[in-house]
Structure 1
Amino acid sequence: MNQRRIPRKRTYLLCAPEYFSVQYVINPWMDPTAPVDVELAVKQWDRLRETLLGLGHTVHVLHPEPGLPDMVFAANGAFVVDGTVYGARFRYEQRTAEAAAHRAFYEAQGWRYVAPTVTNEGEGDFAYLPDAHGGTILAGYGFRTEVSAHAEAQETLGRPVVSLRLVDPRFYHLDTALAALDDRNIAYYPGAFSPASQQVLAQLFPDAVLADEVDALAFGLNLVGDGRHVVLNSEASGLASRVAAAGYVPVPVELGELKKGGGSVKCCIAELRH
């Protein structure tokens, strides 16, 4: 019998896709020739926001800015642990200005903001598990975030950082290949990582839920878990069954329009950890 999973109330930051479009190519999923239905994108995003609120979580909304079509992917703007914000520094100039918008939000809230000196893309490449091994940050590198940012994050946040090398460009951020299901366990797709990183993950998380390539390519791992509920892309039905078998409650949502920009549930959500 699976253990009873207990949800924990979370605080999230989202940004509406009011100006969402695919105007350039900075990941393998983006195709500027494919039409984007902004009205549908907003409706799907609204459903995601309502889903989080319905699960009892607090949701803050960052004001979108024209000229920043990827701003809906709010996870990339910073990484927050225990009230300290490690700011983002984007690799591509098309997204650079997003960092300032996130900084302004956190400073207005009175959070301690630490500006980065090296490239990192926030929760796109960082995941925090407060109850795993005394509090562990998993950090991806290989395509966006520089590995030197892992050391900077460790010094900034005072938590041990485990570096994981991504090797498949389709999984260009850690949050496309790995996600925290709760405060101590994860789900991930082994094929996105180098052999050595796969060994590290297997040692640290022997009870992890493993995704196959089909569900990984459906952005199934770009999910958000609160300890009991797992909000994930509705296309990833196989992964939904696996997390259910592990005792979690899958909550599927449709984000097909935003997927055209290379993101899904987690990309849209930054967690504010007080």
Structure 2
Amino acid sequence: MITRDTNAFLDAARGCAPDFGPATAKAAFLVSPEGFTRADESASDNRYMADAGGFDAQRAGTQHRGLQAALSSVLPTLCFPGNPAAPDGLFPNNVFATAPGRLVVGRMRHPVRQREAARPDIRGFFRDVLGYAEIDLSTQPHACELTGALVIDRARGLGFCGLSERCDEAGARLMHEAFGLRATLLFDLAPGEYHTNVVLAVLAGRAAIVCPDGFADPAVVEAIAALYAPHAAQLTPAEHAAFAGNAISASADTVWMSEGAAAALSSASRDVLESAGFAVHPVPLDAIEAAGGSLRCCVAEIY
């Protein structure tokens, strides 16, 4: 099922057992922030990006190495070298994503990011080292920026796909099929939002972080909150602006977000996460956030 009907989606989702697959990834990979500069094409529809003067390449590199070290404490975390000609390459989850036994390569909206999809080393790693089959969506015409646009409940096989310039309905359908999902809810992001994973996180299949201001239709927020109740944290605009929605569960009992995001969390939001059995792990990433993304955007999961 792939639908815009929140009631139909809820009916289907509530009938899905948490037996679709592992709730969290078995490993992850990053791409280092070589040539860390402002990509003007990407900035045209990413309001979170700083001006060129706000970019500190040395500090971003240090923080990125710290992120790899931190995540390595709970799951194997690889890092591929960055390419100065691809300044957004440190956000690989938009271009590469996996399901058990297969690699999905997305189609990026902007040409500056489309070149990332051609990387032979990342494709070769999955093909020749891991033996994964490849589903290449990068050459078809519909934008589908993978787990930037599509947030997935891996335990139940559910997708939440926010439509914007970075993903249209045809692209959403292609991703739904590539990941083999049971049900996907389509909805419009609020004006000015570029990716779903900035306004929504599903944590190990049992909790959700939702930024209501990031959705065009409040009914979608209500449906997601109802599905994960009582473990659905609805964030304030201040938490949203601090990237608290751009979080990831890298293991069954941890949720990772930037240090700034964690500092912005309200006591109510922390209580929701703690009641769901998650410990919040903050990582300093303010330099990387100048590029318009945060911790979740940096992490490409390996299932």
TM-score using structure 1 length: 0.88
Amino acid at match of 2:270: S
Q: Given the superposition, is the C-alpha separation of residues 66 and 205 from structure 1 closer, same or farther in structure 2, using an over 3 Å criterion?
A: same
**CA positional deviation for 1:251:** 0.5
Structure 1: stretches of 5+ with no match in the other structure: 1-6
Closer, same or farther in 2 for the Cα pair 1:8/1:125, shift >3 Å? closer
CA gap 1:234/1:166 in 2 versus in 1, 3 angstroms: same
2:32 and 2:52 mapped to 1: Cα distance? 23
Structure 1 distance, partners of 2:163, 2:54, is 31
Q: Distance in 2 between matches of 1:105 and 1:164?
A: 34
Q: Secondary structure at the match of 1:180?
A: strand
Structure 2 counterparts to residues 126-145 of structure 1, below 5 A: 126-132=150-156, 135-145=157-167
Residue of 222, 227, 233 corresponding to 2:252: 227
**Pairwise CA distance, 1:245:** 4.6
For the pair 1:13 / 2:29, whether they are aligned, the reply is yes
Equivalent position of 2:5 in the other structure? none
Report the AA paired with residue 189 of structure 1: C
> Cα gap change, 1:204/1:245 in structure 2, threshold over 3 Å: closer, same or farther?
closer
1:96 aligns with 2:114: yes
Deviates more, 1:119-128 or 1:200-209: 200-209
Equivalent position amino acid for 1:262 in 2 = G
Alignment partner of 1:190 is 2:215: no
Identify which of 173, 177, 182 aligns with 1:155. Answer: 177
The answer to whether the 8 A contact 2:247-2:295 is kept is yes
Is the contact between residue 121 and residue 145 of structure 1 (CA under 8 Å) also seen in structure 2?
A: yes
> Where is the helix percentage greater, Structure 1 or Structure 2?
2
Q: How many residues align?
A: 263
Structure 1 match to 2:297: 267
Shift of 1:155: 2.2
TM-score, normalization by structure 2: 0.80
C-alpha distance in 2, partners of 1:154/1:8? 18
Matches within 5 A, 1:1-274: 10-24=26-40, 25-26=43-44, 27-55=46-74, 57-101=75-119, 102-109=122-129, 110-116=131-137, 117=140, 118-132=142-156, 135-159=157-181, 160-169=183-192, 171-193=193-215, 194-207=217-230, 208-225=232-249, 226-236=251-261, 237=263, 238=265, 241-242=270-271, 243-273=273-303
Segment of structure 1 superposing worse, 256-265 or 222-231: 222-231
Structure 1 residue 69 displacement after superposition: 0.7
Deviates more, 1:95-104 or 1:118-127: 95-104
CA distance in 1, matches of 2:176, 2:97: 12
8 Å Cα contact 1:79/1:126 also seen in 2:
no
State the 4+ residue runs in structure 1 displaced beyond 4 angstroms. none
The 8 Å contact of residues 30 and 262 in structure 1, kept in 2 or not, is answered as yes
Does 258-267 or 200-209 show the bigger shift?
A: 200-209
> Secondary structure of the residue that 1:54 maps to in structure 2?
coil
* Deviation digits for residues 147-178 of structure 1 (CA, Å, limit 9, x no counterpart): 21221122222212222321141x31011001
Partner Cα distance (2:24, 2:199) in 1: 23
